[in-house]
Chain A
C-alpha cells in the first residue's frame, strides 16, 4: 500500500493526460503519414509515407504561413516584454490604488479571445470603427487596419491583451528583489538608470526568461483573435499556422495534411523551447553569480 500511494495519487492525472494528450499526439503523427479524409476511420486510410511532409515543404503558401507565425510570435513577445518590463520599472513605487490598477490591468487577459477579436474588429473598422473615427476627428486620414496593416493590427490586439501578464510578473519579480542590493547601489552614487540597468534587470533575468518562455509558448496558441479579426487575410498575411491547420482540417477536409502541419508546428515549437531552455540555464547561472557577488559585497 505504502509504495503504491504516490501512484494512486498520480493515476487519474496520468490516465487523462495519456488518453487525451499523448495518445492523440501519437495518433496525429501516425495520421500525418496517411491520406486521410474526415469520413474515414484511420484504419481505412492509405499509407503515403512522408508525402504529406514533402508536399508541404514545397508549398509556398505553407512556408508563408510558417513565416507569418514566426513573425507574429517574435513581434508579440518582443513588444510585450519591452512594454511590460518598462511599465513595471516605472510603476514600482508605493502608490495608493496600486492594487486597483493591477486589477484593471488583468481584465484584458481574462476576457475570451473571441471577444477580444470582436472588440478590435469593431474598433478597426475602416469607416465606423473607433480608431479611424478618432484619427479623422484629429485631422488624420483613416488607416486601412485590417487590410494593408493586418498583421500589425493583429499584433496590437495581442499586445493589448497580454502586456499586463508580463507587467504583473515583472512587478512581482521587482518587488521580491533584495532591497539591500539597490540601497547599496544608491549609496555608491548610482543613478536610477544605472540601478535599473546594472542591478535590477540582471537580478530579474531568471524570472524574465521564464515569463518570456511562457509568452512564447502562448503566442503559438493564439488563434481565435486572428480568426475573428481577419480570418487569416488579406492574402495569407495573417494566416498563422494554427489557423491554417484548422482550415485545412475543417474546410478542405485534408486531415493527413493538417496532421503533417501540426507535426511541423510541434517541431518548430520544440526547437524554440529547447533553445530558450538552454539559454535560461546559462542566464540563471550568471544571475546566481551576480547575487553571490552582491551578497559578498555587503
Chain B
C-alpha cells in the first residue's frame, strides 16, 4: 500500500517538475524557507506527516512540525499567539478554538491571500470543499457569530475534519441476525442486547471519561435527539426533554458497554473496539484507518459502516481541525502556499490515501480513494447530514464544555440524578453567558 502511494507521489512530483521548468514557479521565491507549523497528534495529521516530504521536494520549502496532543496544542497556541512574534507560521486548530482566536484577532483573514494572484492557485476549486466543514471550521462572523452567514468571512480551511458514523461488527450482527440500527431506539436496544447474546462483549463503545470525553459523547446524541445547548436567545436549554434523553442514552450506552466504560477516553473506547471487546462504535470517522490496520486491530475486515442513527432528526457531528495562519507569523505567504497545497485536490487526495480525512467532495468520490477505503462512500453520505450547529462555538464554550463533562461523568459514576445534573449545568452556563455579555440585548 505504501508502495502505491510512493508511485503516485513520484508521478505527480514529476509532472510538477516538468511544469516548473517552463517559467518561474510560484514557489521559487520561497524555496529554502523553513516553516514552523503546529499540528495535533491525530491520525489525520500523522497521515499529513507522511505527505509533507512531498511538499518540500516539490517547492523547496522546509517544514518543521511541532506535533502535540490537542489540549497541549491549544495551551501552546494560546501562549504563542499572544506574543508579539509567534513561533508558528501555520497552526492546526480544533473547531472550538476558532471562536477564541478570531475574537482575539489572532488569525489572518484569508481574503488577502486568495486575492493575491501570485499566491492563489487558479485551479484550487474552492467550491469542491465540503460546505458544512468550511462554515463550521473556517468561517466566523456569520449567524450567531460562528455559522454561515452574509456577515462572515474565512479565517481557516478545514483540514482533518470529521463527522460521526456508526461502525459495527458485521460478523456479530450476522451471527445473531441483528439489524443495523437506524434509529436511536434501535441503537439502544441493540447495544443492550449484545452483552446478553455475546457474554463478555460490550454493546457500543463510547468515550465517557470526565471532561471533554463525556461532554463530546453527550453532545453526539443531543443533536439527533432534537436538543441544543442554547436556544436562539442564548438561554441554556440543555436541561429540556431532549437533553435528558441524550444523557439517558449515554448512560444506557455506558451501562451496556464494555467493562469500565465510564472511565474510557477516546483511546480506550477505540481500543476496546479494535480489540473486539465491543460490537459497535459511534464516533468520529477518523478511526477508519486504524480499524483496517492489522498491527493495531483484531477486527480487520469485520467492520461495516452505517449512518449515525436518527433520533427525531439526522444530525451527525462536525468536528476535527482546520488550519489557519497566525497574525504574528513570520512567513505568512509561504504558510499560505503550504496551506493551499495541503488542501488542494492533489494534497487532499494524497493525505486521504495515507489514511487522513478528506475535506473535498471530489476526494470522497475519487476512484483510487474508494478502492483503497471502501467506507469512503458511506462517509460521504454521512456528510450530507453533518450538523454544523451541534455544539456552540463561542469563546466561553471551553468552560461550559468542561462543566458538562464533569457533571455527566458524575451522572455515569456516582448516580447523580440526570435532570438535577443538567439543571445545574444550565444554571452555571447561564451565569457564564451572562458574565460574557450574551444577554446585553435582551
Contact = CB atoms under 8 A, between A and B. Distances in A.
A binds B: yes
B251 to A, nearest CB: 13
Contacts of A108: none
Interface stretch (A9-17, A190-198, A234-242): A234-242
A235 B409 contact: yes
Interface string A155-167: 0000000000000
Interface in A235-254: 235-237, 250-253
A148 interface: yes
B277 interface: yes
B204 to A, nearest CB: 15
B402 to A, nearest CB: 7
Contacts of A61: 406
Contact of B260 (A39, A146, A252): A146
B362 interface: no
Interface stretch (B71-79, B112-120, B187-195, B310-318): B71-79
A129 B54 CA distance: 41
B71 A251 contact: yes
B82 A38 contact: yes
Interface in B377-430: 398-399, 402, 406-407, 409-410, 412-414
B226 interface: no
Interface residues of B, number: 33
B409 A234 contact: yes
A233 B79 contact: no
A236 B277 CA distance: 28
B410 A144 contact: no
A52 interface: no
A223 interface: no
Size class of the A contact interface (CB-based, 8 Å):
20 to 34
Nearest to B106: A39
A234 B217 CA distance: 14
Given A231-B209, A234-B413, A251 B75 contact: yes
Nearest to A142: B259
Given A146-B260, A148-B262, A127 B275 contact: yes
Contacts of B272: 127
Secondary structure call for the B interface: helix
Interface in B274-329: 275, 277
Interface in A154-185: none
Given A144-B262, A145-B260, A251 B210 contact: no
Contacts of B358: none
Given A127-B258, A142-B260, A144-B262, A237 B413 contact: yes
A250 B409 CA distance: 22
Residue among A127, A142, A232, A250 with most chain B CB within 10 A = A127
B20 interface: no
Nearest to B424: A60
B41 to A, nearest CB: 16
Nearest to B277: A127
Interface string B62-77: 0000000001001100
Nearest to B413: A234
A263 interface: no
Nearest to A59: B428
Contacts of B211: 231-233
B210 A148 contact: no
A147 B71 CA distance: 22
Given A39-B82, A147-B413, A236-B406, A231 B210 contact: yes
A252 B396 CA distance: 9
Interface in A14-39: 38-39
Nearest to A247: B402
Residue among B78, B210, B275, B406 with most chain A CB within 10 A = B210
A235 B407 CA distance: 6
Interface in A267-294: none
Interface string A94-138: 000000000000000000000000000000011110001000000
Contacts of A232: 210-211
A230 interface: yes
B400 to A, nearest CB: 11
Residue among B104, B262, B263, B272 with most chain A CB within 10 A = B263
Given A126-B260, A142-B260, A144-B263, A38 B277 contact: no
B260 A235 contact: no
A128 B258 CA distance: 12
A251 B263 contact: no
Contacts of B277: 127
Nearest to A229: B263
A150 interface: yes
A61 to B, nearest CB: 7
A39 B76 CA distance: 12
A234 B412 contact: yes
Nearest to B209: A233
Nearest to B71: A251
Interface string B178-220: 0000000000000000000000000000000111000000000
Interface in B69-93: 71, 74-75, 78-79, 81-83
Nearest to B74: A251
B414 A235 contact: yes
Interface string A35-54: 00011000000000000000
Contacts of A253: 78
Contacts of A125: 260, 268
A39 B79 CA distance: 7
A196 to B, nearest CB: 41
A262 B217 CA distance: 32
A95 B71 CA distance: 52
Nearest to A235: B410
Residue among A126, A147, A253 with most chain B CB within 10 A = A147
A128 B262 contact: no
27 contacts: A38-B78, A39-B81, A39-B83, A125-B260, A126-B260, A126-B261, A127-B258, A127-B272, A132-B260, A146-B263, A147-B262, A148-B413, A232-B210, A232-B211, A233-B409, A234-B209, A234-B409, A234-B410, A234-B413, A235-B413, A235-B414, A236-B210, A236-B406, A251-B71, A251-B74, A252-B399, A252-B402
Given A39-B81, A233-B263, A251-B402, 5 more contacts: A150-B413, A233-B409, A234-B263, A237-B414, A252-B399
Q: Pick the 7 closest A-B CB pairs, nearest first.
A: A233-B210, A126-B260, A39-B82, A235-B410, A147-B263, A147-B262, A146-B263
